[in-house]
Amino acid sequence: MTQLETSFEDLYEHSPCGHMSLTTDGMIVRVNSTFLDWTGYAAADLVGRPFAELLTRGSQIFAETRYLPVLLLEGAVKEVALTLVCADGSDLPTLVNSVVVEQAGEEPGLIRTAVFDATDRQNYERDLLTSRRQAEASEEHVRVLQRASSAFVSSSSEEELAEAIVESMRHGFAAASVAVLLTDESGKLALAAGERPGSEEGPELEALSSRQTVVLSDRRAVRDRYPTLADELKSARLEAVTATPLSFEGAASGVVLCYYGRARSFDGDAIDLQEAVARQASEALARVRLQRRLERMALFDQLTGLANRQLLKVRLEEALATGQRTHHSTALIFLDLDGFKTVNDELGHVAGDEVLREVATRLRSTIRPSDVAGRFGGDEFVVICEDADVDAASAVAERLRDVVGAPISGIPDEFTVSASIGVAVHSPGISQSVTPDRLFDLADTAMYTSKNSGKNRTTAVIVA
């Protein structure tokens, strides 16, 4: 994860889409930097202003008569087309997703809105209209794009989207075989869906680096540039291949390889159509990856990468339910770092953050494969152990205490860090039923017993 994504605030402010919060009567409360960059406004120009004032007249009427009523009635709307008026007077076509979020207590609800720049989509629709007028054959192009768009919009994961791309390309372009290669976080390509003949690298890297479709219309053209691939195509009874890059806002995200059983000549319209489908797929991929990052940031601690408090409670509830069903014990280990405050105060927050990251790494490498480690907050960590009685959990806790207490590189020896640990064990048939919150409290209390008894020790309790 890059430095720009180390906090939810950074991702909110600089995400690939605009974000805004509105009151339920449509007044703007907050906007992110992306929205301000797109529209040319300053935040002070928008906060406290009715959202409707940013819309063209036609969009104002639609928002008042359709968008807001449906949103307030159903609680959410997706992909509503609205045209914004920018600070310089130009129009910005957008697609808007909104959801009504209830506030705690008596606070009024908020409308949280994601705004997507639909300029490319508008250009695509304009190109589509032109192609309809040019030839009757373009009707098939329309069907290809519509089927692809429908399949891509309904995809909620990279796996589903990759399969949808395979099907769209196979049926839309009569390809004998299709392979979708997507980049990972390091930029390397990996097969996400479909099949590719053999394992030899072909035109995918060329397409990815040039951001242009590579066309090899027959096996001779393949052999001139990729001799080994030509032999593999011959074995698979394939003749031609195209490689179409996937990219969004200048960032490469993958390549679609289409293989054909016969030599093919590709005119400009055919390549344009493949690239149009690839653009739709690229936008959908950016949406899916953004959603995945948002979901991860909501469930994992951004500093350490461990499960956060919200996810820990879910995992503990699942562990207790499994234990109740299988009659196995569930243990919760609660760690509080001794000496961390001194490191943080005297060596600074950078050193303190390094200690927390190192402790998280040691926890991950020490716990059992089935255990779940998380950061509860501050310098407190938690480990959930399924199928662990008090002896097994105490043994895990002691191993954790040993690794936490080992010297940390970059931290002077006089700044020692150790762990006061509390263990709470629930055993079905012996213990009464217990809630996750109750088990957290018991483990926390046991941890404070360790801390008050001299620190750097373990205290275990069994739920009565």
Task: List the domains of the chain with CATH numbers.
Answer: 3-116 (3.30.450.20), 121-297 (3.30.450.40), 309-462 (3.30.70.270)
- Per-residue CA distances from 45 to 54, 258, 446 (Å): 11, 49, 53
- Tens-level pLDDT at each residue, the chain (464 residues): 455 456 778 888 989 999 999 998 899 999 999 999 999 999 999 999 999 999 999 999 999 999 989 998 999 999 999 999 999 999 999 999 999 998 766 666 899 999 999 888 777 777 766 665 555 556 777 788 888 888 888 888 889 999 999 999 998 889 999 999 999 888 889 999 998 887 667 899 999 889 999 999 999 999 999 998 999 999 999 999 999 999 887 788 999 999 999 998 888 888 988 999 999 999 889 888 888 877 777 788 989 999 999 889 988 998 998 888 888 999 999 999 999 999 999 999 999 999 999 999 999 999 998 899 999 999 999 999 999 999 999 999 999 999 999 999 999 989 999 999 999 999 987 877 889 999 999 999 999 999 999 999 999 999 87
Residue 112 near residue 19, CB atoms below 8 Å: yes
Residue in 379, 389, 391, 437 annotated catalytic: 379
Angle between helix 158-173 and 138-153 (nearest 10)? 170
Answering whether pTM is above 0.75, one says: no
Residue 96's DSSP bridge partners are 80, 115
Are the C-beta atoms of residues 80 and 96 closer than 8 Å to each other? yes
Indicate if the alpha-carbon torsion angle 421, 427, 431, 437 is positive or negative: positive
Distance in angstroms (rounded) separating the CA atoms of residues 82 and 58: 9
Burial of 327 (0-12, 13-18, 19+ CB in 10 A): exposed
Range 373-403 burial, b when 16+ CB lie within 10 A, else e: bbbbeebbbbbbbbebbbeebbebbeebbeb
Catalytic residue status for 379 = yes
DSSP one-letter code for 244:
E
DSSP string, 342-371: HHHHHH-HHHHHHHHHHHHHHHHHHS-TT-
Listed residue (435, 426, 432) closest to 317, CA to CA = 435
CA 363 – CA 92 distance, rounded (Å): 49
Bin 454: left if φ > 0, else alpha if -120 < ψ < 50, else beta: left
Q: Comparing C-alpha atoms, which of 116, 117, 111 is closest to residue 27?
A: 111
- Cα–Cα distance between 266 and 215 in angstroms, integer? 8
Closest listed residue to residue 335, CA positions, set 392, 384, 299, 300: 384
